[in-house]
Chains A and B, each alone.
Chain A
């Protein structure tokens, strides 16, 4: 089973700042099968990025994904107040899905 490790655990930033979130896999992941989600309290996760770098429908272009192999990154270019949330990476492989443990982006 591929393990995804996200860092940092918590990111304290101010609105307008840039956020860089990391997701590292225990073995190589196909870029086609790497996704990112945003989750706010009391809500279901929302798909942000799929295929490592493709934005899902309706996702603002301040969200971008990059990476390959075992290292992937989610970047939020300028944080808006509504972007403070928990972010998860996810991969598909060997007929199963796994998630990272999450990164919380909080207001500094």
Chain B
């Protein structure tokens, strides 16, 4: 079955760019009609949707983060990626990648990766 795995640096300095990758295994990222999303969760807090990329490559972002977010896909590597620029301590969180089979619910999640923003 399809599995997702996040990877990337666990520590990022303030004002720098956070970069994470989600590797999809057990299926092709370009098959079907799926929305591939990034979601984050600060320690002890709730879930915040960051943005998504569709199978076609189109993107949508959370309006509150839109100016700093870029999500892209590399079908040759079966991966999609997140870049979040100008990070501050407020961006410290567990970052999850997730799949939605259409504009609905997230049925598959990665295990999450902790990213700390600190000098």
Chain A: residues with CB nearer than 8 A to chain B? 1, 32-33, 35, 37, 43-47, 50-51, 56, 88, 90, 92, 95-102
Residues on B facing A (Cβ under 8 Å):
37, 46-49, 52, 60, 62-63, 96, 100, 103-107, 109-112
With a CB–CB cut-off of 8 A, which chain B residues contact A88? 46-47
Question: Known interface pairs A35-B104, A47-B105. Does A96 touch B46 (Cβ–Cβ under 8 Å)?
Answer: no
A-B pair count, CB < 8 Å, reads: 58
Instruction: Note all chain A residues with C-beta closer than 8 A to B110.
Output: 44
**Minimum distance in angstroms from B46 CB to a CB of chain A:** 5
Given contacts A44-B112, A45-B106, A47-B105, contact A100 B46 (CB under 8 A): yes
A96–B60 touching, CB < 8 Å: yes
Once bound together, how far apart are the Cα atoms of A47 and B109, in whole Å? 9
The smallest C-beta distance from B44 to any residue of chain A, in angstroms, reads 10
